[in-house]
Each structure stands twice: as C-alpha cells, then as structure tokens.
Chain A
Amino acid sequence: MDVQLIAMQLLSGAVLGAVLVMTALGFTIIFGMLGVVNFAHGALFMIGAYAGVAVAMQTGSFWWALLVAPLAVGALGLLIERFLIRPLYNRPADDPILLTFGLGYVLVEVVRIVFGNDGIPFSTPAALVGVVNLGIGYFPIYRLFVIAVVALILALLWLGLEKTRFGLIVRAGARDPQIMRVLGVDMRRLWFLVFGVGIGLTALGGVLAAPMRNVNPEMGALVLAEAFVVTVIGGLGSIVGAVVAGILVGLVVSLTSLVAPEMATISMFALMALVLLIRPQGLFGRAGA
C-alpha cells in the first residue's frame, strides 16, 4: 500500500514536472537563443490561457483553442519583438528585463479590462475527462494527455533544432551571433522568428495549464517564478537542462506534498537555493558562462 502510494506520488510528480517543463519552455528558448530574459513570460502565459478560454467559448472546441491561441499569441510575440525588444539589442542586458517587466504590468491590466478581475473556470475537454487505471492506481486522463503533448513538442523541437538547416543556424546564432552575421545570416530575422516561436510555446503552455490551474489575471506571477526556478536549476537556457530540472522539481514538490503539504510550493525554491550553493551555473550550465 505504502509503495503504491509512493509510486503514485512519483508518477504525479513526473506529470507535474512535464507541466513545469511546458511552463518554462518558451522562456528557456528565448533566453537560450536571444539572451533575453522575458519578464513578461508569466503575463503571456496567462494571456495564452485566456486566449484559449476565449477561443474555446467561441468555437465550443478545446482543440481549436489548442491550435489557434498559441498562433495568435505567437503573432503578438512577433509584434513585441519588432517594436519593443529590437530597439534594445545594443543596450545593456538589463534593459530588456526592465522593458518586459513593464510590458507584463500592462498586459495584466489589459486582461483585467477585457475579462475582469475574477478567475474564469475552464473545464477539461469532454474527451479527456475521467481517470484511467494504471495498475498502481487511478490517474486523470487529462494529465496523461499533457505528458503526451509535452513529449511531442520536445520531439519536434529536437528534430527542428538538430536535424534541419534552420535549427543549425539558430544554434550557431545562439553561440556566436557576430560570426553568423559575417557569414551573411540575417540575425534580426532569425531572432524575430525565434521570439515568436518562444511566445507561441509560452501560450501553448497557458492553454494546456488552463484546465489544471485557476485562470485569473494574477496567475502569471507564480508561473514566472516557476520558469525562473526551472531555468536556474537547469542552467544557461539549455533545453535538456529545462526538461531535467522541470521533472526534478516536479518530483521534489510531489514528494514534499506527501510529507508536508504546506511546504510544497516552498520546496521548489529551496531546491533552487540548494542547487545555487552546490552548482551556481545550474545542472547543465557551463562554469563561467
């Protein structure tokens, strides 16, 4: 019985980890490829969730929401890059942080004006309601679905970055933009596209999280902190690092909530503090970077 309980808790930890990976993914990509710390990440995640709610209410279908919301918010991301981030590429590294912080502030207020201050309930899509028996216990189908989507996205990202010419250029650009420019690559266009993809993934995370989290204008603050924790533990905007760190954090939070439920959220930050003490550059970060 006890073993079963721990096994269940480990599984739900892994699921929570998958959700955290999705929470941090868009942030990590933009940070890793452009070196931009996006403080509007939480707000854009929240906007993704709201866009999902709006599309689902209009069309009556969760599947449309899953497709349309990330595309729409990704397009918004392109506009943000073009008009707000691009003027700051030659400025000190703190300036994009300050700007995106202000942007997050504005976006939260816009959502309040459009949707109000209260949270909006978002029901799990009918096809994914219910639980499934995994032999060790019953598990919500929707959470398994989220794992599948996250695995699919990661596989696509891996293929895109490792097996295509575009991915090769993006990776080279992340390492040395100057050389790429000398080689005749239009880095501005590349960053424009990567930023849009990153924001689109952020919004997808928001839509996927909507049935599991309370959708309200305030949800971004915790999301932002979670993305930071995962990125700092994983190290240097590394996607592999984010995946390992996300699952690690999920397991720790899940096991902590078994022993001391009130410490669950706190344990995540404590884990980050521990990693900082032992390995300040993060699990997958290079020293001195």
Chain B
Amino acid sequence: MTPQSLDTTSAPGQSRSGAGALMQLASRWRVPLTILALCALPWLLPSKALAVNVLIYGTFAVGYNLLFGYTGLLSFGHAAFFGSGAYLTGMSIVHFGANWLLALTTGITGALLLALVMGTLSIRTRGIYFSMVTLALAQLVYYTALQASSWTGGENGLRGFTVSRIDVFGLQIDFLNPLHKYYVVLIFTALALWLVSRALNSSFGAVIEAIRENEVRARACGYNVERTKLISFVLSGAICGLAGGLSALHLAIVPLDTLHYQTSGLVVMMTLLGGMGSFFGPFIGALAFLVMEDLFSLWTAHWQLFVGAIFILFVLFLPKGIWGTILGAGER
C-alpha cells in the first residue's frame, strides 16, 4: 500500500502541525483503523441487530461513496445494485439450493453485470441528466422484479430461505447468533474496504478525483473519462451488490422495497450525512441514520419527517457531513 494521503486535502509531504501529522498517519492506516473501530461497534451499541444493520448499510454506503463522493457522480439508482445483489443471493438459495457463499458470489456478479449495463447507458449522458437516468433505469429493474413474480415473489418479496448455520473455511458458525453474524459480515466489509482503499491509492483513484474536480481538464490531460467513470460505476455497483447479498442472508427475506427508489435515496442520505468522499464517513452516516430512525420511531410513526428535515439542514448548512466536518476542523 503506498502511503498516500487522499482522505485529507492537505499538501503532501511534511505537515507542520502535529494534528496534521496525526491525520496523515490515520489516513495511511485507514483500513486497519476502520476495521478496528467496527470490531468494537457491537459492544458500544444498545443492540447487536443494530450493529449488523450499520455494517450492512455502511458497506452499501462505502460502495456508493466511491461513485458519489470520490468520482462526483450523483446516482439515484443504486437500489438496483443493492436489490439485485439481494435478490440473486436469495434466488440462488431458493431456486437452486446453492450454498451461502456461492449464492453471495452470484449476487455480487449479477450486480456487477447490471452496473456494467446501467453504467454504459447512464454515463453517455452528461452532468445533471445522470441522476435522472440512473433513477429511471433503477425503476425499470423494480418493475421487472415486480412482474417476474414467479422468480422474485413479486409484491410479497422473496421468502423461504433461512441460513441458520454457515461454513466458513471448515468452521461451522451459528448464523442466527447476531454477534457471530456480525463478525462474518465484517469479513466481507473488510474485504470491500481493502478493495476501495487500494483503488483510491492507485492512479485510478487519482484520476476519478481529478474527474470530480474538473472533468474538462481531466479529459484535456488525456485521461479516458468515460472508461474511468464506468470502472468506478461497476466497482461501486459490485460493492453495493455485496451489501445487498449480505442483507438477504441477514434478513432471510428480500422485500420488494429493496429495489424501490426509497432505497436509492436512503444510501444518498447516509453518505451525505456521514460525509461524502471520506473513508470512514459512510459508517458514521449509516450509524447516524439508523440511530435517528430508532430514536424517532420510538416517539412517532412519522420519523421520516424528522430525518428528511435533518437531511435538508445538512444539504443547506453542512454539505460535508458529520465526518467531513470533523476532518475539516482537524486539518485547520
């Protein structure tokens, strides 16, 4: 791993202030530090089920953040990848009796291929159109799943698969125990984080950020903007597919809403709340969103009203999100 600081915007090389040096060190060790924090998470939260959800949605947001935060493409169709990952994982078990790992691999592969098709179409459009096209294409996937009810269960969602015991490299693990489940999911989250960190540290990572900052200049410098965007889109889709597959294994049901436009919106909100374009932000965002959901729904059935209002306030006044704002303060 090359020790490059991409999380912080400070100049490379020697940092003068102690805080800056600390930030750079943290940035270099961001994958182990994030995994360490996530290892501790279930012991810090009131319920283990909440921790599993934070992990799954955090992984979803990590995948999404690669496209939105780092490449600067605002997609409103990522429910299609999360949902197709979930559906294909579930369908592999229900219809073909696949084992959990094969099912999950199928889910990721399916989401990756779907991202390749959707990406090829949506990247042809420029700027503001991109959000509209990704949303419309995701709706196409939603209605297809609704119609293909013999495969997907239609409006009732996909049911009838429960993974109670899984085999991790010869080790039998009780998957109904939420704590065991958490650490199994964490293995996959760690893999995704490592992959994203490698991608960001490579020259590919530098190019996607160049595209985000100034697409015209990146093109003028001779980079193949379309192809780079497509690779980012596909990688992002595959990670979201992984999150979807994990969610299917976790819930033992795939509701049709997994593919709904609301799910796409959910990951946008989580990513922005946490801090787009920051490495740890997606988990903070997922945690903040899920804790708010839990707290507000204790008190009112209309928790979405408050979450939506808080999101609007973030867009207006804190567009860097929670983690992005903390990082910004640390750099000064």
A positions within 8 Å CB-CB of B = 35, 37, 39, 84, 87-88, 91, 93-95, 97-99, 101-103, 105-106, 108-110, 112-113, 221-222, 224-225, 228-229, 231-232, 262-263, 265-266, 269-270, 272-273, 276-277, 280-281, 289
Partner of B128, one of A35, A225, A273, A277: A35
Partner of B132, one of A110, A232, A270, A289: A232
Known contacts A93-B127, A276-B125, A280-B125, A228 near B132 by CB under 8 Å = yes
C-alpha spacing A224/B74, complex, angstroms: 17
C-alpha spacing A273/B121, complex, angstroms: 7
Closest chain-B Cβ to A223's Cβ sits at a distance in Å of 11
**24 interchain pairs (CB within 8 A)?**
A35-B128, A39-B76, A39-B131, A94-B74, A94-B131, A95-B319, A97-B74, A102-B269, A103-B308, A103-B312, A105-B311, A109-B304, A221-B139, A228-B135, A228-B136, A231-B132, A232-B136, A265-B143, A266-B147, A269-B136, A269-B137, A272-B136, A276-B124, A277-B124
Partner of A109, one of B268, B308, B316: B308
C-alpha spacing A60/B318, complex, angstroms: 46
Closest chain-A Cβ to B44's Cβ sits at a distance in Å of 28
Contact B261 A273 (CB under 8 A): no
Known contacts A99-B315, A280-B124, A273 near B140 by CB under 8 Å = yes
What B residues does A269 contact at CB under 8 A? 136-137, 139-140, 143
How many residues on B have C-beta within 8 angstroms of the other chain's C-beta atoms?
39
B positions within 8 Å CB-CB of A = 74, 76, 121-122, 124-129, 131-133, 135-137, 139-140, 143-144, 147, 260-262, 265, 268-269, 272, 302, 304-305, 307-309, 311-312, 315-316, 319
What B residues does A276 contact at CB under 8 A? 121-122, 124-125, 133
Secondary structure call for the A interface: helix
Closest chain-A Cβ to B41's Cβ sits at a distance in Å of 27
What B residues does A39 contact at CB under 8 A? 76, 131
C-alpha spacing A289/B131, complex, angstroms: 16
C-alpha spacing A289/B305, complex, angstroms: 36
Closest A-chain residue to B146, C-beta based?
A265
Closest B-chain residue to A236, C-beta based?
B129
What A residues does B125 contact at CB under 8 A? 232, 276, 280-281
